[in-house]
């Protein structure tokens, strides 16, 4: 790594660790992600020290988290998820459709159609920026809207779940650690991520390891987990990476746009909660897991929250993945249908 590059990011892991440690001491949920995220944002906003993202740090965090999420999938669990596939489909669809309220708010305030649409869709930031670029959106606002949505969900949802809904029941039999399997899974997950990335597929460093880990866990019925501290390391790397997207200029730029984005996200979260309540009342599925799965956040962040709060990680992951697929495959066709020329 060039010396100049190192000077920009050497403090990032230290500040992130400090924030994560302090958050863990006060009992904040998802402390190593939220703490590192807030610490880096505060340093970048309140001081001249513009910390840069650790090269490959967020990818490495997603790699660890992807392996850990996949290990929650077992034959029994996947049967339960498949048995409720229709419910998962409906829940993800409702979450995706609810994003139109954000589009409406943006349009009412004068944003062009492309910017309003792609900044409000609950998909990955990189994917929505790419789609926005093909359709004439203002890319800086699309990126800002997507980053703010994830920031708001990460800061609010874990805290609300812990302090308002309480934690899930602790596992009676904690998963054992099998280093022989892990030595195979981590390189295989990295290879899958590299292939996924070469194929230009979304979120490769999360999806690649997750698919490998889940497939192996289901086929061999492993019932194993990661060593203590692995989840915290993944949280720290992801949180440190997310924090580097924000600085003082970010929050000073177009404050009305930021306000509208936060309002739209809050309304989408409220609608998701109400839909989860309705769907959960029709089934025996846990309300907290349903609600978390329908939140418009990132897959890694919401799955980590489920893991921390002892909720159903596979159900949350399935809902989040289904929503992402809806957005990725339907967003651009729906937008082009919306803006198509209409006969007089």
Q: What is the pLDDT of residues 35-91, one digit of tens each?
A: 999 999 999 999 999 999 999 999 999 999 999 999 999 998 888 888 888 988 999
Residue 241 neighbours by CB under 8 Å, 6+ apart: 53, 54, 57, 58, 61
pLDDT surpassing 90 at residue 236: yes
Beta-strand ranges (E) seen in 2-110 are none
pLDDT digits (tens, 9 = 90+) for 264-281: 999 999 999 999 999 888
List Cα–Cα distances, 110 to 107, 134, 232, in angstroms.
Answer: 5, 21, 42
Share of the chain above pLDDT 70, in %: 96
Instruction: Output the six-digit token pair for 102.
Output: 């954000």
Predicted confidence at residue 69, as pLDDT, reads 94
| Residue range 113-137: mean pLDDT, rounded | 90
Q: Taking residues 79-108, what's their average pLDDT? A: 90
User: Strand runs (DSSP E) across the chain, as ranges?
Assistant: none
Burial class (CB in 10 A: 0-12, 13-18, 19+), 46: exposed
Split at pLDDT 50, 70, 90, the class of 341 is: confident
Phi (first) and psi of residue 176, to 5 degrees: -80, 165
Q: What is the pLDDT of residue 174?
A: 62
The average confidence (pLDDT) of the chain is 90
216, pLDDT greater than 50: yes
Q: Which two tokens stand for residue 129?
A: 């920026």
Question: Above 80 in pLDDT, residue 224?
Answer: yes
pLDDT at 2 over 50: no
pLDDT tens column, 166-207: 655 554 456 789 999 999 999 999 999 999 999 988 889 999
Is the pLDDT reported for residue 238 higher than 70?
Answer: yes
| Contact assessment for residue 307 and residue 111, using Cβ atoms and an 8 Å cutoff | no
- The yes-or-no verdict on residue 21 having pLDDT over 70 is yes
Give pLDDT, residue 95: 87
Which pLDDT score is estimated for 126? 81
Of these ranges, 88-92, 193-197, 294-298, 322-326, the one predicted with the greatest mean pLDDT is: 193-197
Lowest mean pLDDT among 34-48, 204-218, 321-335: 321-335
Least confident stretch, 106-110, 120-124, 282-286, 291-295:
282-286
**pLDDT level of residue 1 (50, 70, 90 thresholds):** very low
This prediction has a pTM of: 0.89
Torsion over CA: 209, 182, 309, 76 (sign) = positive
């Amino acid at each position: 790594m060039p010396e100049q590059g190192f000077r920009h990011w050497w403090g990032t892991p230290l500040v992130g660790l400090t924030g994560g440690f302090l958050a863990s001491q006060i009992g904040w949920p998802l402390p190593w992600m939220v703490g590192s995220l807030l610490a880096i944002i505060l340093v970048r906003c309140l001081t001249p020290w513009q910390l840069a993202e650790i090269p490959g740090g967020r990818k490495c965090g997603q790699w660890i988290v992807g392996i850990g999420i996949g290990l929650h999938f077992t034959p029994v669990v996947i049967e339960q998820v498949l048995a409720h596939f229709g419910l998962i489909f409906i829940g993800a669809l409702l979450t995706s459709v609810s994003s139109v309220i954000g589009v409406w708010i943006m349009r009412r305030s004068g944003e062009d159609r492309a910017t309003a649409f792609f900044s409000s869709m609950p998909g990955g930031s990189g994917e929505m920026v790419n789609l926005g670029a093909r359709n004439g959106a203002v890319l800086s606002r699309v990126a800002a809207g997507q980053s703010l949505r994830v920031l708001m969900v990460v800061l609010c949802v874990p805290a609300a779940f812990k302090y308002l809904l309480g934690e899930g029941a602790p596992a009676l039999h904690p998963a054992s650690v099998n280093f022989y399997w892990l030595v195979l899974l981590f390189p295989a997950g990295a290879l899958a991520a590299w292939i996924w990335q070469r194929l230009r597929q979304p979120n490769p460093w999360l999806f690649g390891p997750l698919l490998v880990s889940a497939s192996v866990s289901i086929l061999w019925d492993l019932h194993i987990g990661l060593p203590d501290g692995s989840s915290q390391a993944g949280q720290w790397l992801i949180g440190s990476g997310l924090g580097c997207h924000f600085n003082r200029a970010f929050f000073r730029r177009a404050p009305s746009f930021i306000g509208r984005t936060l309002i739209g996200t809050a309304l989408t979260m409220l609608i998701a909660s109400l839909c989860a309540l309705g769907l959960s009342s029709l089934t025996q599925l846990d309300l907290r897991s349903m609600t978390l799965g329908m939140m418009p956040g990132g897959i890694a962040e919401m799955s980590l929250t489920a893991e921390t709060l002892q909720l159903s990680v596979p159900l949350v992951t399935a809902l989040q993945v289904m929503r992402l697929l809806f957005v990725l495959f339907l967003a651009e066709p729906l937008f082009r249908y919306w803006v198509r020329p209409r006969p007089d």
